């Protein structure tokens, strides 16, 4: 028998996220960020970390109004799918900043 977790089938129907969801999404984004950093090994990891803001990513980049309603678990999975390219872009920006210094 399959057990449902407390958030399964919950729909996100409006933005901004509820405070509880926002906390969970930020935590997941930070976890995925660390994984991505280990895998891509950026040339300027310190600068890349300075550019990273899980709060900004969750509040301004992950979900848009035209994506709603969306399942909470599916929305969380989008962090893992799309954060990779975002971190690569941050690393490229960090490289540009390092070249200017």
52 in Cβ contact with 90 (< 8 Å): yes
* Residue predicted with more confidence, 86 or 3: 86
Q: What is the pLDDT of residue 1?
A: 36
Write out pLDDT tens, residues 67-99: 999 999 999 999 999 999 999 999 999 999 999
Helical packing angle, 72-100 and 19-40, nearest 10°: 50
Write out pLDDT tens, residues 8-37: 579 999 999 999 999 999 999 999 999 999
In terms of Cα–Cα distance, which of 68, 73, 78 is closest to 13? 68
Write out pLDDT tens, residues 42-68: 999 999 999 999 999 999 999 999 999
The answer, yes or no, to whether residue 2 has pLDDT greater than 50, is no
Where in the chain are the domains? 25-100
């Amino acid at each position: 028998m399959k057990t449902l977790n407390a958030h399964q089938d919950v729909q996100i129907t409006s933005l901004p996220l509820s405070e509880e969801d926002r906390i969970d999404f930020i935590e997941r984004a930070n976890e995925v960020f660390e994984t991505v950093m280990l895998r891509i090994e950026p040339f300027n990891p310190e600068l890349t970390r300075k550019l990273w803001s899980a709060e900004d990513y969750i509040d301004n980049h992950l979900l848009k109004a035209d994506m709603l309603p969306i399942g909470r678990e599916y929305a969380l999975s989008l962090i893992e799918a799309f954060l990779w390219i975002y971190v690569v872009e941050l690393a490229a920006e960090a490289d540009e900043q390092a070249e200017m210094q």
